[in-house]
């Protein structure tokens, strides 16, 4: 039986541009790098406060990376969506959608990662008084 989620993999063509986005824009930490038996370049990343990893894979032998619209996304919690948006925009990654307030009081927005992957940002609703 399954015990826990270990990682999610995204294949990319431009490893350097992708790693800049995930480490400098999102603030993820690079945990390890390796090369698989078939020659894939693998980089594992971790978000602060999370145990699950994101595996970024570059393997030119699989052909071009084609990400369909609204196919998949990663969602991250942020403390201050406005501050994150200013930071991301200063590095060349403005929000692609939002911010939008939800019925629960949280605020969500999206930013596009290199290769066309979508990143959802969620600022939780303030605690009820």
Q: Is 82 a catalytic residue?
A: no
C-alpha count within 13 angstroms, C-beta hemisphere, residue 95: 17
Residue 14 token pair: 């431009």
Outline where 54-126 has alpha helix (H): 81-90
Contact 7/46 with Cβ under 8 angstroms? Answer: no
Spot the catalytic one: 77, 115, 118, 120.
120
Q: Which of 51, 44, 49 is nearest to 22 (CA)?
A: 44
The catalytic residue positions are 120
């Amino acid at each position: 039986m399954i015990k826990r989620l270990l990682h999610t993999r995204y294949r990319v063509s431009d490893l350097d541009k992708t790693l800049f986005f995930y480490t400098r824009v999102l603030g993820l930490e690079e945990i390890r790098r390796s090369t698989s038996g078939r020659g894939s370049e693998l980089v594992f990343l971790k978000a602060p406060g999370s145990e699950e990893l994101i595996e970024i894979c570059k393997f030119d032998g699989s052909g071009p990376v084609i990400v369909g619209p609204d196919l998949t996304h990663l969602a991250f919690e942020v403390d201050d969506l406005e501050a994150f948006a200013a930071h991301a925009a200063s590095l060349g990654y403005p929000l692609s959608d939002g911010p939008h307030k939800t019925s629960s009081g949280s605020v969500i927005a999206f930013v596009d990662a290199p290769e066309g992957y979508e990143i959802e940002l969620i600022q939780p609703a303030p605690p009820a008084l």
